[in-house]
A = this chain, B = another copy of it.
Amino acid sequence: MSKWYISSGDKCEVVVSTRVRLARNLEEYPFPAKLNAEGKAQVNALVRDALLGGCEEDLSYIEMESLSRAQAISLAERHLISPEFASAPKGRALMLSEDESVSIMLCEEDHIRLQVMESGLALDSAYKRADNLDNAVAQKLQLAFDERIGFLTQCPTNLGTAMRASVMLHLPGLSKSGQITKIAATVSKLGLIIRGAYGEGSSPIGDLYQLSNQVTLGISEETALSNLKAIAQQLVAQELNVREQMLKSPAWEDKIFRALGTLQNARLLSCDEFMQLSSLVRLGIAQGLLKDVSLESLSELMADMQPATINARENQNLTAAERDELRAKAVREALS
């Protein structure tokens, strides 16, 4: 079955994907940090039974301890679970839909961390699916909720809606022109945050950014989502504007085609270089310069070419050099 990212969504020339996450806890159990092995097993089983057959999503249930380390890290690389969840599997479980658009961490920081991912700008539909899952749980189990402060969560920064919605934006124009710093300052005043989706600090790899809501208390889900959507649409417009100016220079066209040539020919390719070059290729596709490569194939590669995902697929611990060779081969085959 195809994964969720093998399709293009709304505003896909800039918006790679949308993600809505909800944190929930069962009223009758302490937070996972205070819960023993038996308690965790009970929570996992309760949620599993509430959801399997109780919702519209086609979910499977996975004990995290049944996965290899590489398989677990690979899930984190694909943003299906948190790195912390991958590194400490004991007592934890995961519910996952076959297309990987829904993933539910059980006994992470909260009892339930559910997320829905869709391609393109799709805040409304991703939220609707997350809300349906939430309702399916709430029909069978009593959730920890307070009239005044909303859903109760382990970390107080999530109180209220306990919802984090985000869009992954490809911003080569705003990034390479240096405008992203000013934008980051502006969006933070509007209760949002923008940061690199891959890599650390100020220069995210591949010009990919996550824009997400910061505030969960004293604001409805609808307001938070419509704020996020408005700002995302504004950033899309700004980005497209900068790109149009930028691509008037033949030097950018040159960079884009060279990047494709390198991806189609390299015999060794590190993950960082792959991400940097595929940013240029993504830009070229989005702006109509490159016709024979699709955004979907790039998104698929971006998910598949991360280090642990390659290890997991090959079912062995490869050296970085071995991975670079396999990555180059897979990228060549996908883009030629």
Contacts and interface: CB of A to CB of B under 8 A. Distances in A.
Max chain B C-beta neighbours (<10 A), residue from A251, A267, A321, A328: A267
Main secondary structure of the interface of A (DSSP, over half): helix
A257 B268 CA distance: 10
Contacts of A265: 257-258, 260-261, 264
A319 to B, nearest CB: 12
A254 B267 CA distance: 4
- Interface range for A: 10 to 19
Interface in A219-269: 250-251, 253-254, 257-258, 260-268
A268 B261 CA distance: 13
A257 B260 CA distance: 13
B254 A258 contact: no
A321 B251 CA distance: 10
A239 to B, nearest CB: 22
Interface string A252-290: 011001101111111110000000000000000000000
Interface of A: 250-251, 253-254, 257-258, 260-268, 321, 325, 328
5 contacts: A250-B267, A254-B267, A254-B328, A260-B265, A261-B265
